[in-house]
Amino acid sequence: MTWLSDLMRPALQKLKPYTNARKEANGFVPDIAIDGNEFPWPPFGTKLPLNRYPDPQPENLLGKIAALWNLHKDTILISRGADEGIDLLIRLFCREGIDQIVICPPTYGVYKVAAEIQGAEVLKVPLTSGHQLDVEGILNVCTPNTKLVFIPSPNAPMGHFMRREDIFRLCEARAEKSLIVIDETYVEFAPEPSGLLPDLTEYPNLVVLRTLSKAHALAGERIGFVIGQPELIQNLLKIHASYPLTQTSIRAALDALSPCGLILGKERRKIIVNERKRMAELLPKSSLIDSVFPSETNFLLAKTKDSAEVMRKLQSFGILARNRDSEIPGAVRFSIGTPEENALVLKALDIAVEDASPPLRLFSARRQTKETSIGVTVNLDDPGFLRIDTGIGFFDHMLEQVAIHGGFGLGLDCKGDLKVDMHHSIEDCGLALGEALKGALGDKRGIGRYGFTTALDEALAQATIDLSGRPYSVFDGKLPTPLCGQFPCEMTEHFFQSFAVALGASIHIAMQGDNSHHMVEAAFKAVGRALRQAFKREGTALPSSKGVL
Which residues in this chain contact ligand PMP in the complex, by CB under 6 A?
81-83, 108, 152, 156, 183, 185, 211, 213, 219, 224
Secondary-structure breakdown of the chain: helix, strand, coil percentages, each rounded to the nearest 5: 40, 20, 40
**Cα–Cα distance, 480 to 184 (Å, whole number):** 58
Compute the least distance from the CB of residue 219 to ligand PMP, in Å. Answer: 5
Closer to ligand PMP by Cβ: residue 187 or 460: 187
Compute the least distance from the CB of residue 185 to ligand PMP, in Å. Answer: 4
Compute the least distance from the CB of residue 253 to ligand PMP, in Å. Answer: 12
Contact predicate 399/430, CB 8 Å: no
Closer to ligand PMP by Cβ: residue 22 or 222: 222
Among 131, 167, 165, residue whose Cα is nearest residue 150: 167
Compute the least distance from the CB of residue 326 to ligand PMP, in Å. Answer: 16
Compute the least distance from the CB of residue 211 to ligand PMP, in Å. Answer: 3
Region of 283 please: left (phi>0), alpha (psi -120 to 50) or beta.
alpha
In 35-108, which ranges are E strands?
A: 76-79, 100-103
**Cα–Cα distance, 155 to 160 (Å, whole number):** 5
Cα Rg of the chain (Å, integer): 28
Closer to ligand PMP by Cβ: residue 209 or 479: 209
Closer to ligand PMP by Cβ: residue 114 or 412: 114
Compute the least distance from the CB of residue 462 to ligand PMP, in Å. Answer: 53
Compute the least distance from the CB of residue 328 to ligand PMP, in Å. Answer: 15
Instruction: DSSP letter for 96, please.
Output: T
Compute the least distance from the CB of residue 111 to ligand PMP, in Å. Answer: 9
Closer to ligand PMP by Cβ: residue 111 or 499: 111
Strands 506-512 and 472-476: parallel
Closer to ligand PMP by Cβ: residue 108 or 203: 108
**Cα–Cα distance, 302 to 530 (Å, whole number):** 47
Compute the least distance from the CB of residue 84 to ligand PMP, in Å. Answer: 7
**Cα–Cα distance, 359 to 333 (Å, whole number):** 24
Write down how long the chain is. 549
**Cα–Cα distance, 442 to 438 (Å, whole number):** 7
Instruction: Report helix angle 516-535 to 393-406, nearest 10.
Output: 30
Beta bridge partners of 388: 412
H or E segment and range at residue 379: strand 372-379
Compute the least distance from the CB of residue 225 to ligand PMP, in Å. Answer: 9
The vertex-321 CA angle with 85 and 257, nearest 5°, equals 40
Closer to ligand PMP by Cβ: residue 83 or 267: 83
Compute the least distance from the CB of residue 209 to ligand PMP, in Å. Answer: 7
Compute the least distance from the CB of residue 103 to ligand PMP, in Å. Answer: 11
Compute the least distance from the CB of residue 279 to ligand PMP, in Å. Answer: 18
Beta bridge partners of 152: 183
- How crowded is residue 32: how many other Cβ atoms within 10 Å of its Cβ? 6
Residue 138: partners with Cβ closer than 8 Å, 6 or more residues away: 102, 104, 125, 149, 170
Closer to ligand PMP by Cβ: residue 207 or 429: 207
Closer to ligand PMP by Cβ: residue 152 or 513: 152
Closer to ligand PMP by Cβ: residue 322 or 424: 322
Compute the least distance from the CB of residue 127 to ligand PMP, in Å. Answer: 14
Closer to ligand PMP by Cβ: residue 185 or 377: 185
- How crowded is residue 521: how many other Cβ atoms within 10 Å of its Cβ? 22
Helices (H), 298-422: 307-315, 339-348, 393-406
Closer to ligand PMP by Cβ: residue 223 or 522: 223
Helices (H), 174-300: 230-239, 247-256, 259-282
**Cα–Cα distance, 239 to 401 (Å, whole number):** 53
**Cα–Cα distance, 171 to 50 (Å, whole number):** 43
Closer to ligand PMP by Cβ: residue 211 or 506: 211
When CB distances to ligand PMP are compared, the closest residue is: 81
**Cα–Cα distance, 100 to 121 (Å, whole number):** 5
Contact predicate 38/51, CB 8 Å: yes
Instruction: Report helix angle 490-503 to 516-535, nearest 10.
Output: 10
- How crowded is residue 116: how many other Cβ atoms within 10 Å of its Cβ? 13
Closer to ligand PMP by Cβ: residue 187 or 505: 187
**Cα–Cα distance, 161 to 293 (Å, whole number):** 12
Exposure string over 297-306, b if 16+ CB within 10 A, otherwise e: bbbbbbbbee
